[in-house]
């Protein structure tokens, strides 16, 4: 083979190899991304277990700004305590789990946070479906179940974070559910004044109260006695005048 022909062949082979490598890298990066949950040595029915979540960034132009975690059956939002996450991010319970959100992270930076669960349910495995939102509005849906996780790394092919649990420790029992975060009213303490105003008396009751003197005797009794005395005095005066006229 002539030297110019050999050089052209080498250049063509090198260009094809570089292109193939670039395509392989471009297609491999999205598939390698994932979201995970970890809790070393976690067992079913364990109490006060710290879970660490990590979600990898898949965007080349926007930063992660929010994660929504959907809790599995047996764990309620009231059972979860936020331990920490990206700087400036806040924790908020939802109807089906919780969110952690705040200032967008740097492009390509993964989002990690930790929570403590009051008690893990009696199960072999827990699935924490996660929605990962970027500053440009894009959402990665880490919700794929095991049979869906063998996709192409996009859409529902994103596998949900899963936590395998060891068997419960001997004697471990399910504790009572967490009390709901609702205000409660307590009965007044004996011997203390009630905060509620006393009921106002009706006009009839007020008149009845005013018709009594300090001894509890109705005012009508003295009035009746006075009337009888007046009648007796008038009768005596009339009888005396009549006798004087007859004499």
pLDDT (tens digit, 9 = 90+) per residue, 51-82?
999 999 999 999 999 999 999 999 999 999 99
**Vertex 102 angle, CA 128 and 117, to 5°:** 35
pLDDT (tens digit, 9 = 90+) per residue, 159-186?
999 999 999 999 999 997 766 554 444 4
What pLDDT shows up at residue 231? 63
Pairing, β 97-101 against β 129-134 = unpaired
List helix spans (H) across the chain: 3-32, 203-210, 220-246
Report the DSSP beta bridge partners of residue 142.
130
What pLDDT shows up at residue 245? 58
Residue 99 has pLDDT above 90, yes or no: yes
pLDDT tier at 206, thresholds 50, 70, 90: very low
* Residues contacting 81, CB < 8 A, separation 6+: 115, 116, 118
pTM, whole model, 2 decimals? 0.59
């Amino acid at each position: 083979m002539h030297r110019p022909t050999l050089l052209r062949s080498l250049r063509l082979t090198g260009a094809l190899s570089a292109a193939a490598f670039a395509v392989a890298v471009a297609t491999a990066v999205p598939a390698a991304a994932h979201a995970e949950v970890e809790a070393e040595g976690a067992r079913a029915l364990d109490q006060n277990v710290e879970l660490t979540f990590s979600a990898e960034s898949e965007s080349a132009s926007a930063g992660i700004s929010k994660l929504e975690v959907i809790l599995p059956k047996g764990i309620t939002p009231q059972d979860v305590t936020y331990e920490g996450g990206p700087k400036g991010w806040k924790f908020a319970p939802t109807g089906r789990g919780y969110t952690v959100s705040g200032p967008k992270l740097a492009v390509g930076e993964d989002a990690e946070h930790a929570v403590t669960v009051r008690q893990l349910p009696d199960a072999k495995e827990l699935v924490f479906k996660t929605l990962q939102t970027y500053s440009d509005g894009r959402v990665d849906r880490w919700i794929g179940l095991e049979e869906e996780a063998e996709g192409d790394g996009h859409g529902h092919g994103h596998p949900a974070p899963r936590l395998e649990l060891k068997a419960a420790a001997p004697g471990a029992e399910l504790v009572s559910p967490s009390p709901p975060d609702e205000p409660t009213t307590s009965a007044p303490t004996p011997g203390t004044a009630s905060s509620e105003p006393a009921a106002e008396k009706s006009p009839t009751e007020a008149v009845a109260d005013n018709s009594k003197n300090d001894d509890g005797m109705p005012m009508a009794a003295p009035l009746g006695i006075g009337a009888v005395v007046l009648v007796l005095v008038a009768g005596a005066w009339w009888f005396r005048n009549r006798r004087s006229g007859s004499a």
